[in-house]
């Protein structure tokens, strides 16, 4: 799946910038902006969140280039189990959200939302439990160690949790929480934002690794980390469009083993997407790439000033992808030597 490095001019010529309206606020936004790359190998996605600076966003660009200019990996399965994703909605709104994930047997529930409290989280999780058998929660590093300890107890008072995803921000806190609670701990930001993505496993700080293709620099990078990290892997979306979801499904399909449902059903969070989403069947999504519909690309196109913003962002990230100035022999992850 080695990608031929494109010139900057060729990359910009193939860029489509879109703004996808969302059904509910998620990660603090109601419109998801991202850039798509129409490459010789297919479609790639560059969707680093707007607050990310070039050193971090460059991973996401590398992933988009890999998908657009490379070849997909060999797959071991043709469908992937997915979890429903429940934003930090009131408990009364849970049934409406879950209705977008027909057949899902697992749900990931957002918790530790700014402006909410633990009681809100408990109510939301219990509302989900009434409809879905397996529940996991994601705090995005929003709790202190003491808060996470209390939350683990409160959130399991009425039933088990599959795992707590990134309950605290630091590896040291995750390791200590893992000693304090019997609830399995999953790491996300402590892997994808770390200089050393394997540090969390070496520290004994997680039972499960949540891996996202784009922040890690592409499918090859994800598969390499999965091979080395020696704990079960969940492949998840980074609020991707249908294009990015297709890449995530390919990554999950290429893993030697897959023991947990993956967080790749987030297409249901969008009012409109660049391609007609594949509906889950019995809680599974088929493994296939997404090809954007030309009419959707037109109607979802971002404004001219936002398109220019993304062009400038690509220009800032592009030089960080190569081993040295003028060397376009191979893409690399930021920090490789």
- Please state, in angstroms and as integers, the Cα–Cα distance from residue 61 to each residue in 21, 81, 154, 214, 321, following that order: 22, 27, 40, 8, 8
Binding site annotation covers 240? no
| Nearest CA-CA partner of 247 in 111, 124, 105, 72 | 72
First to last CA, the chain: 21
Look up residue 331 and give its two tokens.
């893409």
3-class SS of residue 133: coil
Look up residue 80 and give its two tokens.
């992937």
- CA pair distance 89, 152, nearest whole angstrom: 20
Positions annotated as catalytic residues are 110, 212
Note whether 166 and 139 are within 8 A (CB): yes
Binding site annotation covers 188? yes
Note whether 273 and 242 are within 8 A (CB): yes
How many other CB atoms are found less than 10 A from the CB of residue 163?
24
| Nearest CA-CA partner of 100 in 270, 217, 312, 289 | 270
Note whether 173 and 141 are within 8 A (CB): no
Strand-pairing partners, residue 84, are: 107
Note whether 141 and 161 are within 8 A (CB): no
Binding site annotation covers 10? no
- Please enumerate, by residue number, every residue annotated as part of a binding site: 138, 165, 188
- Please enumerate, by residue number, every residue annotated as part of a binding site for Mg(2+): 138, 165, 188
């Amino acid at each position: 799946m080695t990608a031929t490095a494109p010139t900057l001019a060729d990359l910009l010529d193939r860029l489509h910038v879109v703004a996808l309206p969302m059904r509910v606020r998620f990660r603090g936004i109601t419109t998801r902006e991202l850039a798509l790359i129409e490459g010789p190998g297919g479609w790639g996605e560059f969707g680093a969140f707007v607050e990310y600076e070039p050193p971090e966003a460059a991973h996401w660009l590398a992933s988009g280039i890999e998908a657009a200019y490379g070849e997909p990996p060999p797959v071991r399965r043709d469908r992937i189990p997915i979890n429903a994703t429940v934003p930090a909605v009131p408990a009364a709104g849970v049934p409406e959200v879950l209705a977008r994930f027909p057949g899902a047997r697992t749900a990931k529930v957002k918790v530790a939302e700014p402006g909410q409290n633990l009681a809100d989280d408990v109510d939301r999780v219990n509302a989900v439990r009434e409809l879905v058998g397996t529940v996991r929660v994601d705090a995005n590093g929003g709790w202190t160690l003491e808060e996470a300890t209390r939350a683990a107890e409160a959130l399991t008072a009425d039933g088990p949790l599959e795992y707590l995803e990134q309950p605290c921000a630091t590896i040291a806190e995750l390791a200590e929480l893992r000693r304090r609670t019997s609830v399995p701990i999953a790491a996300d930001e402590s892997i994808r934002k770390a200089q050393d993505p394997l540090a969390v496993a070496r520290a004994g700080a997680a039972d499960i690794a949540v891996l996202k293709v784009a922040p890690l620099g592409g499918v090859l990078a994800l598969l390499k980390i999965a091979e080395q990290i020696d704990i079960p892997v969940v492949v998840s979306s980074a609020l991707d469009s249908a294009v990015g979801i297709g890449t995530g499904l390919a990554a999950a399909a290429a893993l030697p083993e897959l023991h947990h449902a993956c967080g790749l059903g987030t297409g249901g969070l969008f009012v409109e997407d660049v391609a007609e989403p594949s509906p889950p069947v019995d809680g599974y999504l088929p493994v296939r790439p997404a090809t954007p519909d030309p009419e959707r690309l037109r109607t979802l196109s971002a404004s001219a000033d936002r398109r220019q913003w993304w062009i400038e962002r690509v220009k800032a990230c592009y030089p960080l992808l190569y081993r040295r100035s003028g060397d376009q022999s191979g893409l690399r992850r930021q920090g490789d030597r």
